Each structure stands twice: as structure tokens, then as C-alpha cells.
């Protein structure tokens, strides 16, 4: 028996020793989200405990000295899966042969900056990075856009990389999803994993619609509808929604910095689910290409939907009933995205 176990152990060890490293890019790598994120990726929380990783860290030239410090710290973690760390300010290095790209870096809003100017600056960044994906990355690369405005940046990146399937691009609304899940769990008094199938519809902005009409709470071993478990419709249709929508601003007000630890955790959740799939019977929220959806959302947007993931491919959860309350909120966030897209496209073609 012991010999058999030892042989199995050897097989597993040999298999893991032979696994080819994957190349993972994080942009904005000298920033605060990346600082919380890189350790989790490098120790195997996202791509698996047997998957060696080459981490490519891209930031702008003035941040290279800071990036050096991040590289030193990653080396000092002595993580066995981390085979190489490549800091760079060059897209031709950063986007080469990528298996996964996590695009965190973007132009932040500066004092006095108009929304339009911010969008223009970000269109320029995500056009360049999309073109670099097109030119240098693997066609199978999975791209997650985090930098705001995440949905529209993601759309611009995907339009600038026409030979990579649109389905390979997604943007982060998992933080909003996790916030919604946690708010319901705290209200009912259960752990967060006892709440499933919340949905974030639309834009990662204050127009997003956190929807719990189909969410389920497990309490005392029994599954019940979230609306019944919470038993307070006016909270669910009022303060719950505004709390989730405004949570980012509330964190900034309290911390004087935007969400970083929770954003990093959400990025890990999102990418891990792309890599390994969602648990049976559960869905998650992510911003994906809207064309062909069954919910009447306009085509050609990156819009957050409920999705299930299998074999590294997502599928929108179809057939959920949508009442008038939900319809209004889903349309409002779609209208914001349409306007944002149309403005962004004028910059893209300029
Ligand atoms: P930081 O300002 O701490 O870091 C951003 C980093 O990006 C900086 O090091 C900067 O030099 C770098 N950068 C700027 N332009 C770049 C470019 N062209 N190429 C490579 N790197 C570039 O911001 P942080 O708190 O880390 O937030 C990063 C982004 O995430 C922001 O746009 C933020 O709004 C967005 N967020 C998105 C969330 C989401 O759910 N989608 C939630 C968290 C976060 O607010």
C-alpha cells in the first residue's frame, strides 16, 4: 500500500515538475491593487497549485524603480511556482506569448479633469494594449480588464485585437458581485458562501444593478430565496442597491485610497473561475461581449451578465425572469454604456 502511495506521489510530483510555465501579465504592476494581487497569483491561488508561472509586470517608465522593489519582494517570497519575474515598460516585452493578461493600469482621474478627457486618455492606453495583444500574445489569451472605465476599456482593447475571439475578453464586476453577496449574507447572518447567484448587470459604475431576485440563501441546511430570507423588500430595492453601487466611493472616503485588497481578491476569483470553471449550480457576474444576448441588452457592449464557466468558456445564464423594476435598472446602465462606447469610438477612429 505504502509503495503504491509513494508511486502515486512520484507521478504527481513528476507531472507538476514537467508542467510548462504559463505567462501571466499584470499591468499597473507598481500600483496598489497589484501589490495585493501579485502574491496570490505567484503562490498558485489563481492558476493552480501545480502551475509554474512567469509573471510579467508592466508599468509606465517613471514607475520602473518602484517596480524593481516589487520584483525584489516577489523574489524574497521564495515561491516555488514563480519561475521568472519580468518587469518592463515596453508592450512588445509585456504582451509576448501571453496565456493571461490582467490589465489593471489605467489613467486615473486627476483634479479638474473632464470625464471625456479621462475616457480619451484611456482609449489611447487600451487601443495600444489591444494592438499589442493582437501582435504579440497567444490567440488563446484570456484578458481581464480592471482599469476604469473597465467595461469600455475592455471593449476598446477587444476591438483593437480583432484576431483574438471577443469571448476571451472580460472586465471585472466580481468585486461588485462579492459586495452584493456579502451585504445579503451580513443582513441574514450567514457566511458569505451561503449566498449564491446574485447578479450584477451592466456597467462597473454607480449605474450598475445588483440583483438578488434569483439569489439563494442557505440557512440551517435549507435553500431559500434571498427575498424570503432577507424579508425586507424595501431594503433590497433601496439601501442594498445603493450600498453596493456606492461602495467604492465609501471605501475611498474612509481609507483615502480606493479598494485594493478586495479588488485583488475579486480579480483572483474571476480569473480562477475562468481557468477552472464555476461550481455546479452557481453563477458569477462578469462584463462580457453583449452581442447576441437574450436579455434585450444592446449589442456591441461589454455588459455584466450572470455567467457559468466550463472549459475556459463562459455562457450567459439565460431564461431568468426580469420584472419591470429590474428592466428599468438594466436599461439605465445599458444606456450609460452605449453613451460611453459611442464617445470612446469617436476617439478610437480619430
Ligand atoms: P494605482 O494608481 O495604485 O495604480 C495604477 C498603476 O497603473 C500605476 O502604477 C500607474 O503607473 C499604472 N499605469 C498607468 N498607466 C499605465 C499604462 N499605460 N500601462 C501600464 N501601467 C500603467 O491604482 P489602483 O488602485 O491599483 O487601481 C487601478 C485601476 O483599477 C484604476 O483604474 C481603478 O479605478 C480600477 N479599479 C477597478 C475596479 C473594478 O472593479 N473594475 C475595482 C478597483 C479599482 O477601483
| Model confidence pLDDT, tens digit, residues 124-153 | 999 999 999 999 999 999 999 999 999 999
Q: Which residues of 5-36 are buried (b: 16+ CB within 10 A; e: fewer)?
A: eeeeeeeeeeeeeeeebbbbbbbbbbbbbbbb
Domain with CATH 3.40.50.720 in the chain: 21-171
* Predicted confidence (pLDDT) per residue in 194-238, tens digit: 999 999 999 999 999 999 999 999 999 999 999 999 999 999 999
Does the CB atom of residue 147 touch ligand 1 within 6 A? yes
Ligand 1 atom 12, closest CA: 28
| pLDDT score of 177 more than 70 | yes
CATH of domain 21-171: 3.40.50.720
Cα angle: 215, vertex 268, 238; to 5 degrees:
35
* pLDDT score recorded for residue 87: 98
**Is the pLDDT score of 167 beyond 60?**
yes
pLDDT at 2: 47
Helices 261-276, 32-42: axis angle to 10 degrees equals 40
Cα atoms found within 13 Å of the Cα of residue 62, Cβ hemisphere only: 1
CATH 1.10.10.10 fits 174-345, yes or no: no
Q: Is the CB of 58 under 6 A from ligand 1?
A: yes
**Single pTM value for the model:** 0.95
Confirm or reject: Cβ of 204 under 6 Å from ligand 1.
Answer: yes
Determine what percent of the chain is predicted with pLDDT higher than 90.
Answer: 91
Intervals of CATH 3.90.110.10 along the chain: 174-345
Angstrom distances, CA of residue 38 to CA of 54, 269, 271, 305, 307: 12, 14, 13, 27, 26
The answer to whether 246 and 206 have CB atoms below 8 angstroms apart is yes
Amino acid at each position: 500500500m505504502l509503495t503504491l502511495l509513494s508511486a502515486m506521489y512520484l507521478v504527481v510530483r513528476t507531472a507538476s515538475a514537467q508542467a510548462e510555465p504559463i505567462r501571466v501579465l499584470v499591468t499597473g504592476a507598481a500600483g496598489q491593487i497589484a501589490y495585493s494581487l501579485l502574491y496570490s497569483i505567484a503562490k498558485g491561488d489563481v492558476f493552480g497549485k501545480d502551475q509554474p508561472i512567469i509573471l510579467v509586470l508592466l508599468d509606465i517608465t517613471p514607475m520602473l524603480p518602484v517596480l524593481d522593489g516589487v520584483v525584489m519582494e516577489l523574489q524574497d517570497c521564495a515561491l516555488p511556482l514563480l519561475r521568472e519575474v519580468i518587469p518592463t515598460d515596453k508592450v512588445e516585452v509585456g504582451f509576448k506569448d501571453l496565456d493571461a493578461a490582467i490589465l489593471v493600469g489605467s489613467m486615473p482621474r486627476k483634479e479638474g479633469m473632464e470625464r471625456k478627457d479621462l475616457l480619451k486618455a484611456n482609449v489611447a492606453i487600451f487601443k495600444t494594449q489591444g494592438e499589442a495583444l493582437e501582435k504579440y500574445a497567444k490567440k488563446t489569451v484570456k484578458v481581464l480588464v480592471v482599469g476604469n472605465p473597465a467595461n469600455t476599456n475592455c471593449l476598446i482593447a477587444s476591438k483593437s485585437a480583432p484576431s483574438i475571439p471577443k469571448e476571451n475578453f472580460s472586465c471585472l464586476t466580481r468585486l461588485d458581485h462579492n459586495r452584493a453577496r456579502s451585504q445579503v449574507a451580513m443582513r441574514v447572518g450567514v457566511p458569505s458562501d451561503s449566498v449564491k447567484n446574485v447578479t450584477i448587470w451592466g456597467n462597473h459604475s454607480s449605474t450598475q444593478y445588483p440583483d438578488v431576485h434569483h439569489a439563494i440563501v442557505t440557512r440551517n441546511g435549507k435553500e431559500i430565496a434571498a427575498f424570503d430570507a432577507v424579508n425586507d423588500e424595501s431594503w433590497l430595492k433601496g439601501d442594498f442597491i445603493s450600498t453596493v453601487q456606492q461602495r467604492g466611493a465609501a471605501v475611498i472616503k474612509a481609507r483615502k485610497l480606493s479598494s485594493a485588497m478586495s479588488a485583488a481578491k475579486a480579480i483572483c476569483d474571476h480569473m480562477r473561475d475562468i481557468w477552472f470553471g464555476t461550481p455546479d449550480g452557481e453563477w458569477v457576474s462578469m462584463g462580457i461581449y453583449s452581442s447576441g444576448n437574450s436579455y434585450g441588452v444592446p449589442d456591441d457592449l461589454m455588459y455584466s451578465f450572470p455567467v457559468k464557466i466550463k472549459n475556459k468558456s463562459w455562457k450567459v445564464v439565460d431564461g431568468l425572469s426580469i420584472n419591470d423594476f429590474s428592466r428599468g435598472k438594466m436599461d439605465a446602465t445599458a444606456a450609460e454604456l452605449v453613451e460611453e462606447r459611442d464617445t470612446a469610438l469617436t476617439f478610437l477612429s480619430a
